């Protein structure tokens, strides 16, 4: 999608608000302390596929910071940064997808899900735990477990929710070249 700045800014605001609502009120507690099964990453991946890496980074950053702030424990910047990194990485997939043209076939589904798997692995398997250790002196075994559980849960929820959003959006868009001028 060709983004103009106003459309992208609106998408960031709406995306961050929806990310917050899903992350705050639709999170499912996991057996690992301070780790939820999060539904908001499917939405974030979809928004990234439409609006690119900058919008994705800001939606993840703002939305996650608002979630942490609303819980009252302070903003856990290591995980907020990991959400932004996920947004950047997923935004890079937007160059390969053509959602705005009504295209999201089997090949696109595979591409989308391979990217989201890699992006979650990097964000939650590397970025969040390493920053937890560096910034907060957290024990490595604890934070890598949290990252693994959170990352695996995010991969599954993104595969379901993100893929469904992309499929639905593509079906609702006219295919490129499908509209003809009447005479």
Q: Average model confidence (pLDDT) for the chain? A: 93
Range from 1-15, 94-108, 122-136, 144-158 carrying the lowest mean pLDDT: 1-15
Indicate whether 177 belongs to any domain.
no
Number of domains in the chain: 1
Given a cut of 70, is residue 69 above it in pLDDT?
Answer: yes
Given a cut of 90, is residue 8 above it in pLDDT?
Answer: yes
Residue 174 Cα distances to 112, 126, 182, angstroms: 20, 40, 16
Indicate whether 133 belongs to any domain.
yes
Main-chain dihedrals φ then ψ at residue 71, nearest 5 degrees: -75, -20
Indicate whether 166 belongs to any domain.
yes
Tens of pLDDT, residues 156-183: 999 999 999 999 999 998 876 665 666 6
Indicate whether 101 belongs to any domain.
yes
Indicate whether 178 belongs to any domain.
no
Indicate whether 36 belongs to any domain.
yes
Main-chain dihedrals φ then ψ at residue 29, nearest 5 degrees: -60, 140
Q: Nearest CA to 1 among 62, 55, 67?
A: 55
CATH number at residue 160: 1.10.1760.20
What's residue 1's pLDDT?
A: 47
Q: Nearest CA to 108 among 69, 166, 60, 161?
A: 166
Give SS3 for 52: coil
**Under 8 Å between Cβ of 2 and 50:** no
Main-chain dihedrals φ then ψ at residue 28, nearest 5 degrees: -110, 120
Q: Which residues of 18-27 are buried (b: 16+ CB within 10 A; e: fewer)?
A: bbbbbbbeee
Tens of pLDDT, residues 111-149: 999 999 999 999 999 999 999 999 999 999 999 999 999
- By percentage, how much of the chain surpasses pLDDT 90? 80
Q: Which two tokens stand for residue 43?
A: 């939405």
Given a cut of 70, is residue 88 above it in pLDDT?
Answer: yes
- What residues have CB less than 8 Å from 183, skipping those under 6 apart? none
Confidence of residue 100 (pLDDT cuts 50, 70, 90): confident
Indicate whether 181 belongs to any domain.
no
Q: How far apart are CA 139 and CA 158, in angstroms?
A: 28
- By percentage, how much of the chain surpasses pLDDT 70? 94
177-182: Cβ within 8 A, 24+ apart: 178/102
Tens of pLDDT, residues 46-60: 999 999 999 999 999
Q: Where are the alpha helices (DSSP H) in 52-162?
A: 53-71, 77-92, 106-122, 128-136, 140-157
Indicate whether 183 belongs to any domain.
no
Given a cut of 90, is residue 22 above it in pLDDT?
Answer: yes
Domain membership of residue 90 as a residue range:
5-172
């Amino acid at each position: 999608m060709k983004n103009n700045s106003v459309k992208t800014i609106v998408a960031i605001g709406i995306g961050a608000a929806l990310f917050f609502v899903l992350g705050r009120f639709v999170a499912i507690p996991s057996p690992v302390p301070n780790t939820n099964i999060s539904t908001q990453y499917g939405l974030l991946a979809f928004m990234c596929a439409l609006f690119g890496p900058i919008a994705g980074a800001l939606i993840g950053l703002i939305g996650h910071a608002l979630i942490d702030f609303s819980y009252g424990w302070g903003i856990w910047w290591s995980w907020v940064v990991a959400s932004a990194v996920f947004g950047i990485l997923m935004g890079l997939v937007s160059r390969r997808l053509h959602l705005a043209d009504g295209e999201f076939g089997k090949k696109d589904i595979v591409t989308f899900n391979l990217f989201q798997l890699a992006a979650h692995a990097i964000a939650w398997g590397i970025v969040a735990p390493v920053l937890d250790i560096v910034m907060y002196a957290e024990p490595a075994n604890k934070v890598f477990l949290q990252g693994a559980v959170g990352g695996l849960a995010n991969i599954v929820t993104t595969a379901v929710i993100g893929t469904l959003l992309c499929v639905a959006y593509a079906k609702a868009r006219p295919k490129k070249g499908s509209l003809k001028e009447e005479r």
